[in-house]
Amino acid sequence: MSKDNQILEDFTSKEYEHGWSVNYEADEAPIGLNEDIIQWISAKKEEPQWLLEWRLKAFRTWLTMEEPKWANVHYPKIDLQGLRYYSAPKQTKKPKNLDEVDPELLDIYKRLGINLNEQKRLQGIAVDAVLDSVSVATTFKDTLSKLGIVFCSFSEAVKEHPDLIKKYLGSVVPMTDNYYAALNSAVFSDGSFCYIPKGVRCPMELSTYFRINAANTGQFERTLIVAEDESYCSYLEGCTAPQRDENQLHAAVVEIYAGTHAEVKYSTVQNWFPGDKNGKGGIYNFVTKRGICAGDHSKISWTQVETGSAVTWKYPSCILKGDYSIGEFYSVAVTNNYQQADTGTKMIHIGKNTKSRIVSKGISAGKSQNSYRGQVQVMKRATNARNFSQCDSLLMGDRCGAHTFPYIDINNPTAKVEHEATTSKIGEDQIFYCNQRGIATEDAVALIVNGYAKEVLNQLPMEFAVEAQKLLALTLEGSVG
């Protein structure tokens, strides 16, 4: 024990790489949360009346709701009246294309390693760049629109594709679904909208890069992906935030709709500022993500690599409504220092012959707490439903905690549900073995951890997988046990 701690102490955590911020001239809402603020946001975004009413309805319901307390996370009460709900870089005129976007804004993304210049970008990935409350640029829009694919900011979609938004907004995550989802529905700012028409395979990865810059501002993005029958798309989400002493709130909602034979892969590499070594600052990440496999033979697959945030509360879920539909959840959640994560999934089997697969790999280091919370629900008419869950925890040191909370609810006798769970400690023996071959301890940990998380990392698109591997190593730097 003393030895483990010794090694733990021997390393000091590497600083968070994306902790810088810039000063931009901001267009921001006054601090506070009330109906006036919501009207202010809606007016700012020049929204139609129905959407304002939708927001207000969500707000009024939210007022009657209580913050959930069941998650295995602890944090001081968030002063929601002390936050700002909209902050955006001031732009004199709306840029029509990438060339008109303020170069200073493009620079922010360049510093993050995201080049928005289409010529210089890797082919094959279209990016929507969201800074605080607005989308600043979306690449490859034209290329995609030739195929009938819509990929744009949510605000733009409200203007250009109101019928689609009206049809699908809140259809998977109802506005009153839960406390944070209701809050998001009332004040959501921007996010991405993807629409893949019937029979189209999206030829490139669609991705959104979320950046929180402004202080004391909550980020409430809203993403909606609609994949019509026989379509396919792979979507990636990345996020970072500056290092600040105060905690910041991020409460997003993501909705996915998949029609018959449609397939959506949704991957996240979450790297919000986790707080410092002593647990000061960091993002509170309260996210509702849900997809519906509405059509027969449809498939939704969630892959997440969660390395950041001070507190994470997140359960990407699948409603398997169509017969033969498939839901998948692959997750690596790393916590270090004082981070807390309560994450997992819900698989709701409604259709016949539906299948779900859950692979969760928790890695805890420092004094962090890492919980897997998953629910598998098989409804009455879901004959022959199948689920396989694998939940592994890896502990580094002896001051962290790993917890598993599986809930299984079966209402059809033909269901087959399997659950496997393991807990292991990163072995002194493994590290010494690597050392003996000339591999430094930090690299040994990176190797071992990446090996452990391989099944999940393999699900990520190539470039993301490489980045995720580096991120895992970085997050755990300074935490060997």
Q: Which residues of this chain interact with other proteins, rule CB under 8 A?
A: 3, 427-430, 432-441, 443, 447-448, 450-455
Q: Which is nearer to other proteins, 160 or 443 (CB)?
A: 443
Q: What's the DSSP call for residue 145?
A: H
Three-class secondary structure of residue 37 per DSSP:
helix
- Locate the DSSP E strands across 2-61: 26-28
Nearer to other proteins, 204 or 448 (CB): 448
Q: Is the distance from CB of 3 to CB of 429 less than 8 angstroms?
A: no
| SS3 state of residue 375 | strand
- Non-local (6+) Cβ contacts of 355 within 8 A are 320, 324, 325, 326, 327, 385, 386, 387
Q: Which one, 8 or 125, has the nearer CB to other proteins? A: 8
Measured from the CB atom, is 23 or 436 closer to other proteins?
Answer: 436
Shortest Å, Cβ 228 to other proteins = 37
We find the least distance from the C-beta atom of residue 356 to other proteins, in angstroms, to be 23
Which CB, 186 or 444, lies closer to other proteins? 444
For other proteins, the closer of residues 126 and 396 by Cβ is: 396
Q: Please identify, using beta-carbon distances, which residue of 67 and 428 lies nearer to other proteins.
A: 428
Q: Which is nearer to other proteins, 415 or 480 (CB)?
A: 480
Is 261 in contact with 230 (CB distance < 8 Å)?
A: yes
Residues in contact with 79: Cβ distance below 8 Å, sequence separation at least 6, in sequence order: none
Rounded to a whole number of angstroms, the minimum distance from the CB of residue 395 to other proteins is 15
CB of 331 closer than 8 Å to CB of 322: no
Pick 76 or 438: Cβ nearer other proteins: 438
- Minimum distance from residue 455 beta carbon to other proteins (Å): 8
Cα 171 to chain centroid, rounded: 19
Whether the CB-CB separation of 199 and 169 falls below 8 Å is answered with: no
Measured distance CA(276)–CA(282) in Å, rounded: 7
- Is the CB of 376 or the CB of 434 nearer to other proteins? 434
Taking the complex as a whole, the smallest distance from the CB of residue 476 to other proteins amounts, in Å, to 15
User: Beta-strand (E) ranges in 45-189?
Assistant: 87-89, 125-131, 134-138, 150-153
Q: Distance (Å, rounded) from C-alpha 481 to C-alpha 3? A: 8
Residues 6+ apart with CB under 8 A from 384: 352, 353, 414, 415, 416
SS3 408: strand
3-class SS shares of the chain: helix, strand, coil, % to 5 = 25, 35, 40
- Parallel/antiparallel/unpaired status of strands 125-131 and 134-138: antiparallel
In the bound state with other proteins, the residue whose beta carbon lies nearer, of 43 and 440, is 440
The HSE-up count of residue 384 (CA atoms within 13 Å, CB side) is 7
Question: How far, CA to CA in Å, does 2 sit from each of 5, 385, 419, 481?
Answer: 5, 48, 34, 10
CB of 390 to other proteins, least distance (A): 13
Q: Which is nearer to other proteins, 204 or 431 (CB)?
A: 431
- Minimum CB–partner distance for residue 6 and other proteins (Å): 9
Minimum Å gap between C-beta 331 and other proteins is 16
Mark 436-449 as b/e (b = at least 16 C-beta within 10 Å). Answer: eeeeeebebbbbbb
**CA dist list (Å): 142 to 118, 391, 458:** 11, 42, 31
How do 87-89 and 26-28 pair as beta strands?
Answer: antiparallel
Q: How far is the CB of 358 from other proteins (least distance, A)?
A: 18
Least Å distance between CB 11 and other proteins?
13
Sign of the four-CA dihedral 443, 449, 451, 453: negative
We find the least distance from the C-beta atom of residue 128 to other proteins, in angstroms, to be 33
Shortest gap between Cβ of 392 and other proteins (angstroms)? 10
